[in-house]
């Protein structure tokens, strides 16, 4: 009587199973990344991978705003607006956090909200 699985069959099955997990690898790494997006007038003008930044740098989406970026964190560090509400928002460090300069229509948001889709406030 013929065996249900020959040895080669078993190798193939194991191979296919292993292969199917290869596609998951990029996703596993992706989830740990902290990506910050800077929007000006509704368009993404800059994206930072906060996990990969070694030393503090600055980025200016326009002549009135300075954004500071360091490992794992991003913030508005200065703005020409009087009230500087955006600066007072401080460092953003977790997924889903947002800070905005409303008068100049600049928004910083850290991509991916973890388990939460959106926050009501």
Partner 1 sequence: MQNRVMFLKIAEAIKKVDKRAWIALALCLSLIIGIVIFDTVKKNREFQTTSVAMGTIINIKLYGPDGEETAQLIAENINETERALLSRNEENSDIDRINNNPDTSVSVSYETADIISKSLEVSKNCGGVFDITIGEITKLWNFDGENQSVPAKEKIDEALSLVGYPYVELSDTSVKIKEGQSLDLGAVGKGAACDRIKTLLESTKTDSAIISVGGSLLLYGDREFTVGIANPQNSQTTLGTLELSDAFVSTSGNYEKFFEQDGETYHHILDATTGYPADSRLSSVTVVCDSGLLSDALSTACYILGYQESISLLAKYNAQAVFVFKDKTIRTTDGLRECFTLTDESFVVGK
CB of 55 to partner 1, least distance (A): 25
Measured from the CB atom, the residue of 54 and 120 that comes closer to partner 1 is 120
**What Å distances lie between residue 45 and 1, 21, 36, 65, 79, CA to CA?**
68, 35, 11, 13, 17
18 phi and psi angles, rounded to 5 deg: -60, -45
CB of 54 to partner 1, least distance (A): 25
Do β-strands 73-79 and 65-70 pair in parallel, antiparallel, or remain unpaired?
antiparallel
| Site residues for partner 1 per CB under 8 A | 6, 8-9, 11-12, 16, 19-20, 23, 37, 39, 41-42, 82-83, 89, 92, 94, 96-98, 100, 102, 105-107, 109, 113, 115-121
Measured from the CB atom, the residue of 42 and 54 that comes closer to partner 1 is 42
DSSP-H helix ranges across 23-99 = 25-30, 85-88
């Amino acid at each position: 009587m013929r065996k249900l699985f020959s040895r080669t069959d078993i190798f193939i099955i194991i191979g296919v199973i292993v292969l199917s997990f290869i596609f998951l690898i990029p996703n596993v790494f992706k989830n740990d990344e902290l990506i910050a997006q800077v929007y000006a007038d509704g368009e993404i003008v800059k994206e930072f991978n906060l996990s990969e930044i070694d030393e503090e740098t600055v980025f200016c989406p326009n002549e009135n705003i300075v954004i500071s970026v360091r490992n794992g964190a991003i913030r508005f560090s200065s703005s020409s607006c009087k009230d500087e509400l955006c600066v007072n928002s401080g460092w953003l460090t977790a997924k889903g956090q947002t800070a905005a300069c409303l008068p100049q229509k600049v928004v910083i948001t850290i991509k991916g909200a973890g388990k939460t889709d959106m926050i009501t406030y």
